[in-house]
Amino acid sequence: MNPNLGLHHVLPPYMLEHLAEHGPEHLREGARADLTVDRTLRAARAVRPAARPGTAVAGDTPQAAPDRTVYDAQHRQNLPGTEVLREGGAAVADVAVTEAYDGLGATFAFWWEVFGRNSIDASGLPLDATVHYGRDYDNAFWNGEQMVFGDGDGTLFNRFTVSLDVIGHELAHGVTGAVRDLVYEGQSGALNESMSDVFGSLVKQYAAQPQQTAEQADWLIGAGLLTSSVQGVALRSMKAPGTAYDDPSLGKDPQPDSMAGYVDTTDDNGGVHINSGIPNRAFYLAATGFGGFAWEQAGRIWFGALSSPDLTTTATFAEFAAITVAQAEELFGAQARAVVLAAWNEVGVETTVELPDPDAEDALDLTETQQAGARPAGAQ
């Protein structure tokens, strides 16, 4: 399957726009230049060739292994740049190269060991990355072929290879594109972004030594990315959307934590980075409702929903939620179903679940509701 399905930046455009208007004077022009680069890349994505094909489908080999290559753009904007590290090569002194290489490996290991998925396309797709893209470039992105990392400006943003969940987030866009290419607009686009936050966070939790339970995880996306001069901890918080940062140069985290704060906008492809906070928090609530390692139950349920033939590419929050509830029951039983249903109810997403009517052959549509906060104990 061709993963060349779109361009996705980890830094939302509203952060760059605020920085261009209100950031330190010496960074404003750079932010405007970064926005121009992003628009240029989006315009060019349709003419890119497909990524290098994989060599084996999942299950063809008893143990799949990553095929990683890291390039150095040498502060230019030509991709992929000069090759500096290939799979199995000797370690290099460049910390950004090492972080990118290790991050690709950790993401590959997560998808293979948890889901039996041989790379992000399930067919052994080589994982390529370019570091040192542009000068002081404040972003990282997946362009349908490879990962690309800027070095950050050093004042507000550190290098973009520093955060493993950012790497996991961007590569998860490739997974979503290959499994169910959710239209990148409105609620389906926010679900697309949320899936990347979910699996980016799970990659970090899985790779931690020791591995982190749902209760131990920080549930931050981009932790370590902001410098100490910024009033904030990350780009987004799945646990508490809207609280990740509040800084004069970057503005205030605009994410709502429930449908009561849903942002109806035409900016940012209909608020894909903003409204993703709602399904993000639903996942966090489900994961902590279950307890234990989040990839074992909540992660499997969410990936099962993404893979479900019932999920359309223009799915709304309510439609996706209904599928997760059904997946929870199918995979783990009635108690798990109650945990997931309660999580969606707590963020204000009304879930319509199709249940069998014992008195009729046809299925009955029933809208189930539950008091917010009345989450039953999770199934272990």
Residues tagged active-site: 170, 273
**Sign of the CA dihedral with 110 first, then 102, 212, and 152 last:** negative
**Residue in the block written with tokens 């508490």:** 240
Q: What are phi and psi of 206, to 5 degrees?
A: -70, -35
> What DSSP letter does each residue of 281-347 carry, written as one string?
HHHHHHHHHH-S-TTTTHHHHHHHHHH-TT--TT--HHHHHHHHHHHHHHHH-HHHHHHHHHHHHHT
Q: DSSP secondary-structure letter at 211? A: P
- The residue type of 150 is G
Distance CA 274, CA 262 (A): 9
| ∠ Cα 52 56 60 (to 5°) | 170
Distance CA 88, CA 337 (A): 44
Q: DSSP secondary-structure letter at 271? A: H
Contact criterion met (CB below 8 Å) for 140 and 124: no
Distance CA 178, CA 192 (A): 12
**Residue in the block written with tokens 């539950």:** 370
Which pair of tokens denotes residue 203? 């990659």
Which pair of tokens denotes residue 59? 């299950």
Distance CA 319, CA 338 (A): 17
Contact criterion met (CB below 8 Å) for 21 and 251: no
